[in-house]
Amino acid sequence: MRREERSLGYAVSEVDGEGLKKAREINVINSLAGKVPGLIISNGAGGPAGASRVTIRGNTMVTGNNQPLYVVDGIPIDNSNYGGTGGGQYASGVDMGDAISAINPDDIDKISVLKGASASALYGSRAGAGVILITTKKGNKSKELGIEFNSTASIEDQLTSYDGYQSLYGQGVRQELNTLAIQDYNTLNKSFGARIDPDLTVITGTGKKVPYAYVRNNIDGFFRTGATFTNTLSFTNSTDNSTFRFSASNLNNKDIIPKSGLNRNSFTFNGSSKFGSKITLEARAFYMNEEVNNRPSLADDPANIGNSFLSLANTVDQARFRDEYKNDDGSYLDWNNGNQYRLNPYWVINEMRNETVKNRLLASLQLNYNIASWLSFQARGSSDQTDVDYEKFSPRTTPGALTGTLDQNSSKFATIEADGLLTAQKQISPSLNLSARLGASITRNRRTGNAMQFTDQAILDVVIPTSYTVQSVSPLASRRSFNSVYGLLTAAYKGVLYIDATMRNDNFSTLPEGENSKVYPSLNGSFVFSDAFKLDKKYLTSGRIRASVAQVASDTDPFLTAQYYKSNSLPFNGLPTGGLSTEIKSKSSGLKATTTFSYEFGTDLKFLNNRLGLDITYYKSESKDQLNILPAPVSSGFKTTILNAGVISNEGVEIALSATPVATKDFTWDLGISFARNKNKVESLAEGTPFLVLSDARWMGVSVVAMPGQDYGSILGYDYQKDPDGNIILDANLQPALSPNREVLGKGIFDWTGGASSTMSYKNFSLGAVLDVKMGADLLSLTNWSAASSGALKMTLEGRAEWIKSEEDRQAAGMTPQQWSAAGKVGGLVPKGVVQTGTDAAGDPIYTQNTRAVDPSIYWGRLGDVQSSVARPFIYDGSYIKMRQLTLSYRIPSSAISRLKVKDVQIALVARNPFIISKHVPNVDPDSNYSNGNGQGIEYGSLPGRRSYGFNLNFRF
> Any idea what DSSP says for residue 944?
P
Average pLDDT, integer, range 877-881: 97
Exposed, middle or buried, 114 (CB in 10 Å: 0-12/13-18/19+)? Answer: buried
In this structure, which amino acid lies at residue 243?
Answer: T
Residue 492 placed within a domain: yes
pLDDT at 915: 95
Residue 392 placed within a domain: yes
- Domain count along the chain: 1
Q: Which residue range is the domain that position 239 belongs to?
A: 5-159+226-303+352-586+594-713+748-777+879-956
pLDDT at 90: 40
Report the 3 state secondary structure along 750-767.
CCEEEEEEEEEEECCEEE
Tell me the pLDDT band of 91, cut-offs 50, 70 and 90: very low
pLDDT at 926 over 90: yes
Q: What is the mean pLDDT of the chain?
A: 90
In this predicted model, which residue has the larger pLDDT, 915 or 554? 915
Residue 927 placed within a domain: yes
Closest by CA to 687, choosing from 640, 635, 630, 649, is: 630
DSSP string, 275-344: ETTTEEEEEEEEEEEEEEE-PPB-TT-TT-HHHHHHT--TTS-GGGGGSSSB-TTS-B--SSTT-TTS--
pLDDT at 571 over 70: no
pLDDT at 575: 45
**955 three-class SS:** strand
pLDDT at 569: 44
Segment 313-322, tens digit of pLDDT = 999 999 999 9
pLDDT at 500: 94
- State the CATH number of the domain containing residue 433: 2.40.170.20
Tell me the pLDDT band of 561, cut-offs 50, 70 and 90: low
Number of other CB atoms surrounding residue 5 within 10 Å = 11
pLDDT at 506: 92
The strand order across the sheet containing 692-697 reads 692-697, 702-706, 714-717, 743-747
**790 three-class SS:** coil
Least confident of 216-225, 271-280, 556-565: 556-565
Segment 462-490, tens digit of pLDDT = 888 888 888 888 888 889 999 999 999 99
How far from 804 is each of 105, 241, 796, 856, CA to CA, in Å?
A: 59, 87, 14, 10
Residue 400 placed within a domain: yes
Residue 310 placed within a domain: no
Residue 621 placed within a domain: yes
Containing 391, the helix (H) or strand (E) segment is strand 375-394
Residue 429 placed within a domain: yes
pTM equals: 0.91
Residue 784 placed within a domain: no
Segment 693-741, tens digit of pLDDT = 999 887 788 999 999 999 999 999 999 999 999 999 999 989 999 999 9
Least confident of 449-463, 719-733, 766-780: 449-463
pLDDT at 565: 55
Report the 3 state secondary structure along 851-908.
CCCECHHHHHHHHCCCCCCCCHHHEEECCEEEEEEEEEEEECCHHHHHHHCCCEEEEE
